Structure 1
Amino acid sequence: MPYAIALTVVLVGLAAFQLALALGAPWGHFAWGGQHRVLPTGLRIGSGVSILIYALIAVVAWDRVGAIDVFPDLFSDIGMWVIFGYFVLGIVLNAISRSKPERYTMVPVVVVLAALSLLIALG
């Protein structure tokens, strides 16, 4: 359960960041390729969708560790491996970003998320 707590804390931080971006915060150089200071409408919507994805990830993680019972066991077991793969892909995509702030900030964050999701997937 400590891994699910840590994962959730990081996801809540990212959700707050994405909400700020969606509301027009001038932090776009840390996300979405770093090409915009303030995100255009389409990327603001993407930030809103990201918040929903983070919430789903947290629910799957809590289900996987047995703290809640929302999904069938097989779903949360496989789901955590999919989430781990999603974060590994996120490491790669953030690492190749043209934005130095995004690379230097988001790669370590996603490495932590990948490690935590791996630990949860391993059970």
Structure 2
Amino acid sequence: MIIAVIGSFLFLLVAILYALLALGFPYGEFAMGGKYTVMPLKLRIACGFSVFIQLFAIIIILQTANLIPNFFSIGTTRGICFFFAAYLTINTILNGFSNSKKEKWIMTPMALLTALCFWITAIMF
């Protein structure tokens, strides 16, 4: 149960970062390869869209751990949790190859810890 709370908290931090990026804050070095300090409009829209996906992932991990009521069947919720675990594992690998030191050294470990939380929650519950 605590693993799901940790995973949801870490993903909430990422969602906040992406919300700030969508609003034009200069934190681009932490995301998307660190190419831009301030994201151009198309990437700001993508960042805004990804906030909703990240919030959905938070709901899924909390539902999988039975911390909040399920909107889907437990099998569906667990399957979606496995999907996000796999996505975050791939994200961890890609962050590790980033040209941005901030993304590589801050976001990679955060993605790894979040992926582990999703994997453990999906397997244990």
TM-score, L = length of structure 2:
0.92
- For 1:73, give the aligned amino acid: I
Pairing of 1:1-123 with structure 2 (within 5 A): 1-67=1-67, 68-123=69-124
- For 1:9, give the aligned amino acid: F
TM-score, L = length of structure 1:
0.94
Gaps of 5+ in 1: none
Q: Runs of 4+ in structure 1 displaced over 3 angstroms?
A: none
State the Cα deviation string for residues 6-45 of structure 1 (Å, max 9, x = none): 1121122111111111111111111111111110011111
State the Cα deviation string for residues 36-74 of structure 1 (Å, max 9, x = none): 111001111111112111111111112211221211111
Contact 1:26–1:38 (8 Å) recurs in 2? yes
**Overall identity of the aligned pairs, in %:** 27
Aligned length in residues: 123
**CA–CA distance in 1 between the matches of 2:12 and 2:104?**
20
